[in-house]
Amino acid sequence: MNEFDRRWKMGIAARDDAGQAPESAPFGFATRVVADWLEMARAEPSFATLWQALAVRLLGMLTMLLAVLVAYDALTSPRPTLLQPEIENAVADAVCFL
């Protein structure tokens, strides 16, 4: 019996028993719930899940590094020499050769 059939039968049984409210949970219910929870907790994460977690952490670290470097550059570079004509002309000449 696959998962869908099991859930389908549970839904039918719940619908049929909707008028009868049980006094307490059936015997062993808590044990089954804990066993299912432990089984899900022990399952190995998939490669995609690990990759996504690694990618998110790496993206965060790179964003923080970029912010630190931008702040460092803004605080340490002298303002008048940001666009020196020599460098600007060299870049323009290099672009013309492309």
Do 89 and 60 fall into the same domain? yes
Task: Write out the residue range of the structural domain in which residue 14 sits.
Answer: 3-42
Q: Collapse the DSSP code of 87 into the 3-class scheme (helix H, G, I; strand E, B; otherwise coil) and give the result.
A: helix
Tell me: do 52 and 87 sit in the same domain. yes
Instruction: Name the one residue in this structure whose structure tokens are 């044990």.
Output: 31
pLDDT in tens, 72-84: 988 887 665 555 5
pLDDT digits (tens, 9 = 90+) for 33-54: 888 888 877 778 788 989 999 9
Domain count for the chain, please give it: 2
The verdict on 35 and 51 lying in the same domain is no
Whole-number Å distance between alpha carbons of 19 and 17? 5
Q: Supply the mean pLDDT for the chain.
A: 79
Cα separation values, 64 from 6, 52, 53, 67, 75, Å: 49, 18, 17, 5, 17
Q: State whether 35 and 60 are in the same domain.
A: no
Percent of all residues in the chain with a pLDDT value above 70, rounded to a whole number:
68
Looking at the structure, do residues 60 and 92 belong to the same domain, yes or no? yes
pTM: 0.41
